[in-house]
Structure 1
Amino acid sequence: MIKKVTGLLKSKKSVIENFSYLSIFQIFNISFPLLTMPYLLSVLGKETYGLVVFTQTFVSYFLVLVNFGFNLSATKEVSINRDDKNKLSEIVSSILIIKGVFFLLSFVIMYVILFFLKESNDFVILSFLTMYLCLYEWMFPVWYFQGIEKMKYITFINLTSRLFFFVFVFIAIKDKNDYLMWPIINGIGCLIAGLISLYVVFYQHGISFRWQKKETLIHYINDSKFLFFGNIAGKAKLISNRMFIGIFIGMSSVAIYDIVDKLKDVSMVFLQLIVDVMFPKFAKHKDPKLVKKTIRLLVALSVFCYLFIGLSLYFIVPIYFKNYIEVVSIFWVLGLMIIFQPMNYLFGIGVLIVNGLIKQYSINLYLSASVYLLSILAVYLLASIDIYTLSFCLVFSAFIAVLNNIVVAKKHKLTNWIY
């Protein structure tokens, strides 16, 4: 038995190692915002805190453009060509060039939007400072480290950024007038992390940056365009609840929703982390048994996490917040995303994308987004729009996406990948 266990651990060494590194990172990644949240809420107040979160949501739409689906397509390409330095140089150079162009384009689009909206100077300044999110998306090649299955770089480099923010947030933010220091501190940390990561790629790993032909860049854009269009629907849906809450209800409610959303993310990021770690294996080996085992594990862990966190909140939340009943009640609705979202993510990239059904994957994301928007329209027309109904709309759309992924898999005779 000992020999069997030892042999199993050795055979899965890279998976266990990568999952361990990313788990350590996610512990800090989640802990820092939760530890700083009570302080920021008390110093900035709900309205200002909600405004900063609302602005982050606004900028997050541009993240979809800068990312362009390369987190999946580029990871797959790097995984397949990990032993070919010349090809890796082409991939890395092409993706960085394309992302750089989209990053600059995002600035132009944001300027035009803010000009026509005629928002206050405070919101305009805050929006441009919050573009550090897009800068980080451009500079930090997560897709490269995932593709070569060296997650330790993601862990150690990102910890540098998180520690920088954690330390300086207590030093630089003393009252609500210091709210601009939030994106400034985050931006400096992200810039440091991005520069370190590029140093590792180009100097330690020997990857060469080379300007690419237009045909090569177009090839990589075409390779990821369906993922991009799918991400417009998928990512935009996930972040839009904050926008709707800010527009229809108010910034204080954005602050409350953000608390619940972060609590939900505590376990959801770990569950999606399993998929991220396994994706290079799925892409390289195309083993339905491996995908099926991962699905069973993910479902069991999802249900356990949902129940465990929901019950734990009755004891944890009152320590930080007086209106804990509202926070816990919202979690029981929004927290269902812990079950549906990772499952949908695994079905999408582990079954559909691995089997070349990228178009179907994108269509499903649009279907889910359409269901979400129609649900929002329904509760708005019924004058029932609040945090609870908006949370339910998001959960319902995720549930429909899971069902449709199963239908697509059945249509293409891939049910042996799921059950």
Structure 2
Amino acid sequence: MISKVRTMLGNKDTSQLLKNFFSLAVLKLVNAVLPFVTLPYLIKVLGIQQYGAIVLALSLMAYFQAVTDYGFNLSATREIARHRANKRQLSFIYSKTIITKMYLLLSSLAVLVPIILLVPQFREDLLVYLLMCLMLIGQTLFPEWFFRGVERMGYITALNLIVKLSFTIGVFILIKAPQDYWLYPFLLGVSYIIVAFISHYIIMRKFNLKLIFVGIKRVKKTLKIGFPLFVNQFVPTLFNNTTNFLVGMILGKASAGYFGATRQVVQILTVFNSVVSGVAFPYLIRYKEKFGVFSKYYLILISAISLFLVLVHQYIFDIIGIKYNFDSEVFYILIAGFLAIVFYSVYSTNYLISRGYDKLVMRITIIASIIGFVLSFPLIYKFGLLGGATNIFISQLILGFGSYFYFKKINKEMKYENQKVCKK
């Protein structure tokens, strides 16, 4: 057994996969855990009303973040994974992706800023919303898709840890009263921007890439090619983010704060799933035959972790200060939805998309998102936070079940075709 483990660790691809996992794990966990560490402090110092204003502002930004991401964490990652040995091609992919994202960022800000200035409910917390734009800028410029594609995420992990620690320390040192809540988006936005610029410096120095001119025709072509994956990434905001948004708009900022804090607990699991899926995606593009082993053991692991969190969630709620009617029931529903989204990550992202079935995944995502979008208002209006959690669960269940259904169908068709070939 020990010799097998040593042999496996000695394999270059396996060793790199483990390095990538731990590097991306640290990166993602820092992004999730440190804000989670500040959560009890923020709720206590700011109050649930002011914290709810931050959650509502983050919900608004999420729509535009989905636009500027444009599915590049999948499409650009896939391109880079296929051409990572070609420096010239890498420079081209890097340049067209960054320039396209800049066009999307400018277009998003042109729409976002007038919305902030015109909607009365946003004007109540005007400075918070405007400072959230810094976060949008930083997230747009952050080239996570590149590091995923070359399977070398370790370069940015230490820097990201330093910046996020600085952000967390800044929260504890600078935020002392409810009126200081504007400092949260400011510190968050600055941290994202610092990470983004340092990451591009690393790409140019360590990978010897250059930012080359890419014309508007190439930008349009990039947008056209990536459109199915953009739809696949954007339309989930129609149920996922709209639920958060409507909770704040219909039920008030306090409800948005409680709902956001509850989802923050589930976010720990979501980050872990994102880490595993992000590391596995480029690996499974190259080694498709490994999918069966990956899916089996990962689903067992994630189920065990979810069960543990269900058992201890009340202790976590007490520490954070989460206490409202049906808080545990809302949490259980969100955990069930998370398990469904794990199926979506495994069977859509790491099977269907890795094999080029982008449009099929897009159809599954559109159906689930439209249903969630239509149900969001009546469920939240009628059942409050329970309705919001239920709406997310229904949509995530459709995503997970639809992905698994098409995985089985395609897998069955492939086996049938292989049998026909063998008989000939």
TM-score relative to the length of structure 2: 0.92
Deviates more, 1:82-91 or 1:18-27: 18-27
Alignment correspondent of 2:226: 224
Query: Is the contact between residue 60 and residue 133 of structure 1 (CA under 8 Å) also seen in structure 2?
Result: no
Cα deviation for residue 414 of structure 1 reads 5.4
* SS in structure 2 of the partner of residue 335 of structure 1: helix
1:338 corresponds to: 338
Pair 1:405-2:407 in alignment: no
| Structure 1 spans left out of the alignment, 5+ residues | none
Q: Which residue of 2 aligns with 1:6?
A: 6
Measured at CA, do residues 213 and 170 of structure 1 come closer, stay the same or move farther in structure 2, by a change above 3 Å? same
Q: 1:31 aligns with which of 30, 33, 38?
A: 33
Q: Does 1:87 align with 2:89?
A: yes
How much has 1:199 moved relative to structure 2? 0.6
1:388: which partner in 2? 386
In 2, are the aligned partners of 1:348 and 1:405 still within 8 Å (CA)?
Answer: yes
1:32-79 CA deviation, whole Å, 9 max, x = no partner? Answer: 112211111111111111001100110111001111111100000111
Whole-angstrom distance in 1 between the partners of 2:33 and 2:391: 28
Identical residues among aligned pairs (%): 23
Aligned residues: 413
Q: Distance between the aligned counterparts of 2:119 and 2:362, measured in 1?
A: 31
Confirm or deny: 8 A CA contact 2:337 2:394 kept in the other structure. no
Measured after TM superposition, the shift of residue 206 of structure 1 is: 0.7
TM-score with structure 1 setting the length: 0.93
Give the 5 Å matches for 1:223-372. 223-285=225-287, 287=288, 289-321=289-321, 323=323, 326-372=326-372
Three-state SS of the structure 2 residue aligned to 1:336 is helix
Could you tell which deviates more after superposition, 230-239 or 116-125?
Answer: 116-125
User: 1:107-122 to 2 correspondence within 5 Å?
Assistant: 107-119=109-121, 121-122=123-124
Letter in 2 for 1:54: L
Letter in 2 for 1:199: Y
Letter in 2 for 1:36: T
Could you tell me which amino acid in structure 1 is paired with residue 386 of structure 2? Answer: Y
Alignment of structure 1 residues 193-212 onto 2, 5 Å: 193-212=195-214
Question: What is the rounded CA distance, in whole Å, between the counterparts of 2:163 and 2:237 in structure 1?
Answer: 24
* Alpha-carbon distance between aligned partners in 1 of 2:68 and 2:80, rounded to the nearest angstrom: 19
Runs of 4+ that moved beyond 6 A = none
Matched, 1:127 2:129: yes
Aligned mates of 1:187, 1:142 — CA distance in 2: 17
Q: For the Cα contact (< 8 Å) 1:310–1:328, is it kept in 2?
A: no
Q: In structure 1, what residue type is equivalent to 2:333? A: V
1:76 aligns with 2:78: yes
CA shift, 1:335, in A, is 1.3
2:22 to 10, 20, 25: 20
Residue 159 of structure 2 corresponds to: 157
* Separation of aligned partners in 2, 1:137 and 1:314: 33
Superposed CA offset, 1:226-271 (max 9, x none): 1112222123422222111111211111111111111111122112
2:246·2:377 contact (CA, 8 Å) conserved in 1?
A: no
Q: Give the Cα–Cα distance (whole angstroms) in 2 for the partners of residues 294 and 76 of structure 1.
A: 19
**What's the RMSD between the two structures over aligned residues?**
2.0
SS of 2:355's equivalent in the other structure is coil
Structure 1 letter corresponding to 2:105: F
